[in-house]
Amino acid sequence: MIKKSICIIDDDPTNVLITKALLNLIDSQGFMLTYSDGKEAYDGLMNLCKNDEALPEVYFLDINMPIWDGWDFLDEVAKLNSQKPVSIFVLSSSNNPEDAARALTYNNVKGYLVKPVTLEVLKKEFDQI
Amino acid sequence: MMHYLESELVDLIKTNGSIFDFIGDTVLDGVWYWNLEKPEDEWMNKRFWINLGYDPATMPHASSSWQRLIFPEDLIQSKNLLQAHLADPHVSYDLTVRYRHFRGTVSWIRFRGTAIRNEAGKPIRMLGIHTDITELMDKNSILDACNSAADIGYWDLDIVSGKLYWSEVTRRIHEVPNDFEPNVEQAIQFYVEGESREKISAAVEQSILDGMGYDLKLQIKTFNGEKKWVRSLGKADLHEGRPVRMYGTFQNITKSQKAEEHLNEMLQVYEKQNDRLKNFSYIVAHNLRTHAGNIKSLLDLQSSNPEAIEVSEMLRLLRSTSGNLLETIDNLTDVAMMNATVGDELIEVRLFDVAESIINTLNLNNTDNYSFVNKIEKEVKVKAIPAYIDSILLNLLSNAQKYRKLSQPGEVVISSFEDQNFVEIQITDNGQGIDMERNRHKLFGMYRTFHRHPEARGLGLFITKNQVEAIGGEIFVDSVLNEGTTFKLKFKK
């Protein structure tokens, strides 16, 4: 399996830890970045761009976060109109179908995963990238 | 000079009795001729009796014949008017009385008569005619009943003479005394000054110009000073481009207007409750799931891949997650309880004192000279639940302090404004501010935070808004990122 670089954007440290542990078990990631809200992630990634550093390829994005929530982050990324496709998985506790449908309207969003996500689900999604 | 046809007709009546019969039977509903010198003698034509439902053959030519059938109080009235007419020929004998028809129904009869006098000027005979106006009166009484039931009156203005007529119901809606004589200027003055009066004046002027009607919902202040909502319709009649008459209807719609307002208020209450419920179910679906999901993930990992996370780390995470779960449940219980205690009685609270005491508390922990400026008018009082006012002001003031800018001295100013029904409190800080474009819709939502602060829980503004609305107030916010925030609170006086 080709290793992918990962970015986790979530304000809940426990969840970040769980996601990391699951990804470790799949043994699929290259380097990994974590941010605790949408704004922090956006600023951090823009900095990487400026310095010509490599950007992560796969993103796990929480919805309910302070400053910029997941929607704000998706809106701002869409505005960049970047040529380089990124794969974003929305990872949220909300099992509201409206949230899932809304997430899938974004081109960059490859899937909507409801927490708690299992190893099997994560593996399956990863294999499809 | 008499027209030749008129003199011919007069002659014809004299010579040919059928002409007189024709007039008496067709044009009139009864003719009577009364001997004032011998008052029991009175001749009535056949039509007189047929009109009242009786067989003329059975009715003697005596005044007592009809005096048994007329309503007693109307008989007295007719006798009084007769006396006046006999005494002074300028008093016309013309009145409307009620008869009991043979069927038992009421017949409305218009009496008109004239005394015939001898050479000495003494009245010796009385000639009278009947006109039956029962049909008209019945229709009128139905109309009156409808008008009265619908609280709808009418008015009629003779523009040439300037005389304004108000129907009974119109007078009743205005609550004017019996001797009140309306005129146009007064009628306009009954409309509440400002929008209502301006609208009616403009509508009347326009209608006089173009003859088109108007239909307006306006407010009046009655003779007794009571405010009412009315629907006012009017239209001018033009003759050769000039207004000659104006008329319209006037309906009291206060009840339906109030019902509509009440309905709207109820709708708003339900909409707010619905929003709270939605919010609540979203929180239950989202935040409780977050913690429960974390616990499940950790336990799943532990059983399937024990080496993924160390046992001591696993226990630490489980402990903090279960703590978070419990806290969320407690918060939800608090919110549910708060919505349930809205029935509490509101009492007067002096805002200046509340703000002072909160500022004193906050100053105890004030290590970096954050300044609170209390400019609330000392006498200002609002109707509220005191515990809510404490909580609302404490939350907003401690927020101002918590989210201050570290680069400059922090300050928050609390001021008050009053109008007739409300007190407005303004709380303005020079803190970090909030990005309103991004956050306007979620500012007062539950579990929403807008700054990276270790103590931000996303509950304060949610609870504050709930408390403000529970005591009938409103809360607004305006903010500029990096400049500061202003909260405006409106409370009932």
Q: In chain B, where are the structural domains located?
A: 4-137, 151-252, 259-340, 347-492
Domain B259-340 has CATH 2.40.128: no
**Residues B407-462: pLDDT tens digits?**
888 999 999 999 888 999 999 999 999 989 888 888 887 777 777 777 777 778 88
Q: Which CATH architecture has domain B347-492?
A: 2-Layer Sandwich (3.30)
For A66, residues 6+ apart whose C-beta sits below 8 A from its C-beta are A11, A37, B448, B449, B450, B451, B452, B456, B458
Among chain B, residues having any CB pair with chain A shorter than 8 Å are 282, 285-287, 289-290, 293-294, 296-298, 300-301, 304-305, 308-309, 317, 320-321, 438, 442, 447-452, 456, 458
Q: Please, what is the Cα angle at B159 between B155 and B164, to 5 degrees?
A: 35
The average confidence (pLDDT) of chain A is: 88
A108 touches chain B (CB under 8 A): no
User: In degrees rounded to 5, what are phi and psi of residue B347?
Assistant: -125, 165
**Residues B232-271: pLDDT tens digits?**
999 999 998 899 999 999 999 999 998 988 899 888 878 8
Instruction: Determine whether the interchain pair A66/B451 forms a contact, defined as Cβ–Cβ distance below 8 Å.
Output: yes
Outline where DSSP puts E strands in B198-346: 214-221, 227-239, 242-252
**Which residue of chain A comes nearest to B446, CA vs CA?**
A64
Higher-pLDDT residue of A123 and B228 is B228
Chain A residues touching B297 at Cβ < 8 A: 18, 22, 115-118
Question: Which one of B278, B297, B309 makes the best mutation probe of the A interface by having the most chain A beta carbons within 10 Å?
Answer: B297
Q: What is the bridge-based pairing of β-strands B106-117 and B93-100?
A: antiparallel
**pLDDT score at A28:** 66
The average confidence (pLDDT) of chain B is: 89
Outline where DSSP puts E strands in B421-461: 422-429
**pLDDT score at B48:** 93
Chain B residues touching A35 at Cβ < 8 A: none
Topology of domain B151-252 in CATH is: Beta-Lactamase (3.30.450)
Domain A4-128 has CATH 3.40.50.2300: yes
**Interchain CB contacts (distance < 8 Å): A and B:** 76
Report residue B118's pLDDT band, with 50, 70 and 90 as the boundaries.
very high
Same topology between domain B151-252 and domain B347-492:
no
Chain B residues touching A74 at Cβ < 8 A: none
For B78, residues 6+ apart whose C-beta sits below 8 A from its C-beta are B70, B95, B97, B111
**pLDDT score at B341:** 58
Give the C-alpha separation, B454 to B463, whole Å: 19
Superfamily of domain covering B4-137: PAS domain (3.30.450.20)
Report residue B476's pLDDT band, with 50, 70 and 90 as the boundaries.
very high
- Looking at residues B66-86, what average pLDDT do you find? 94
**Which residue of chain A comes nearest to B295, CA vs CA?**
A116
**Residues A28-50: pLDDT tens digits?**
667 889 999 999 999 999 999 88
